[in-house]
Amino acid sequence: MTLKDASAYNIQFLDGRPVFIDTLSFEQYIEGEPWVAYRQFCQHFLAPLLLMQQTDIRLNQLLRVYIDGVPLDLASALLPKRSWLKKHSLLHIHLHARSQKKYADTSGSVQRPAHTNVSRIGHLGLLDSLMNAVRDLKWLPENTEWRDYYADNSYSDEGFADKQELVKNYLYILKPSSVWDFGANTGEFSRLAGTRGIPTVAFDIDPACVELNYQDLQRQEQPCILPLLLDLTNPSPGIGWENRERDSLADRGPVDTILALALVHHLAISNNVPLDMIARFFSGLGRSLIIEFIPKDDVQVQRLLSGRKDIFDNYSQEEFEHAFSQYFTIEQTGAIRDSGRIMYLMRRKE
């Protein structure tokens, strides 16, 4: 058997493990036929990984624009010159892109060279080369803005433990069947849900945090948690045909419970999103909410305000509760020890 498709969308995650789901992609192997999914694999897997590792991790965003994978001529242009000296990138990206250009007709489609014949050994050799290319790619996250957040925040040891207990208690009360943790960082609080067997998606804007979270989960063999990259101020839209081929973030909800810990001040102050708009946004995504409010005199909020004028007169606990009370019922609150921070348990109004 062989695969006629090599789309990244054929891989989904279950308990933190990648699982191939498109069994209809299997077809009978015919001796001498080249692998028809070779270009697609390079565009969906190898090219994005090479660009992230050798050029800039943020180039993963190209996959939002190119739903059928990163065009090989674009990948070739963006990769550094030293990549021409590496066997795998030379063969599968640079020379592959040139071959596509050579055999492209005037309409832009790619024509297969005449008399193409690939032996079984050659077919297996190609697959082995691609596997080695992917296995050789490692990315070691360097210092970024948020990866050391837990070691540099406003909590005392007692306060941090207190926050963990509050989240545990709220999860016990809610007993959610699914959790989305927005601003999860490296997943410290996502694990409080995941270890209970609750399917949890740990979203964060920092690729380093997402990568470190995933590596830790793999080492510890912890199921139920999936770390994903997400800019909450620019969430994944519906893409593809009629914007319905791949669902938007909103279309994938609502989830049972949202965790929004040490997050609201970033949305309200760093990104100028009014509190009532934040509350409305969360109400469309989740049936219940475990959320933390950080007051303006907190050192983390003061850091955000240090380089700009304080125009946030409405950023207060009173205004926060008023805004969220329009969409949620506040059921419990808890002050975090040694800080002015407050934890809330809320349920969406129906």
DSSP 93: I
- First-to-last alpha carbon distance for the chain, in angstroms, is 51
The answer on pLDDT for 145 being more than 80 is no
SS3 (DSSP) at 311: coil
In a shared domain, residues 156 and 117: no
The answer on pLDDT for 113 being more than 60 is no
SS3 (DSSP) at 110: strand
In a shared domain, residues 117 and 206: no
In a shared domain, residues 73 and 172: no
User: CATH no. for residue 160?
Assistant: 3.40.50.150
In a shared domain, residues 283 and 175: yes
Strand 26-27 and strand 179-182: the pairing is unpaired
At residue 14, the pLDDT reads: 85
- The tens digit of pLDDT for each residue in 300-329 reads 999 999 988 999 999 999 999 999 999 999
CA distance 281 to 237: 14
Residue 321 included in any domain = yes
- Split at pLDDT 50, 70, 90, the class of 79 is very high
Domain boundary residue among 104, 135, 166? 135
- The tens digit of pLDDT for each residue in 295-304 reads 999 999 999 9
In a shared domain, residues 216 and 278: yes
In a shared domain, residues 296 and 198: yes
In a shared domain, residues 155 and 115: no
The answer on pLDDT for 188 being more than 60 is yes
- The tens digit of pLDDT for each residue in 208-244 reads 999 999 999 989 888 899 999 999 999 999 999 999 9
Residue 269 included in any domain = yes
In a shared domain, residues 126 and 165: no
Domain boundary residue among 105, 135, 165? 135
In a shared domain, residues 200 and 114: no
* Beta-bridge mates of residue 260: 182, 291
> Span 128-143, mean pLDDT?
90
At residue 221, the pLDDT reads: 85
For the chain, the domain total comes to 2
Q: What is the CA radius of gyration of the chain?
A: 24
The answer on pLDDT for 149 being more than 80 is no
| DSSP 3-state percent helix, strand, coil across the chain (nearest 5) | 45, 15, 40
The answer on pLDDT for 200 being more than 80 is yes
In a shared domain, residues 64 and 155: no
Residue 142 included in any domain = no
Give me the DSSP letters along 217-284: HHHHT--SEEEEE--TTSPPPPBSGGGTSB--TGGG--EEEEEE-S-HHIIIIIS---HHHHHHHHHH
- Residue type for 131, please? M
Domain boundary residue among 135, 166, 191? 135
Domain around 265: 149-348
CA distance 246 to 244: 5
In a shared domain, residues 113 and 189: no
The answer on pLDDT for 155 being more than 60 is yes
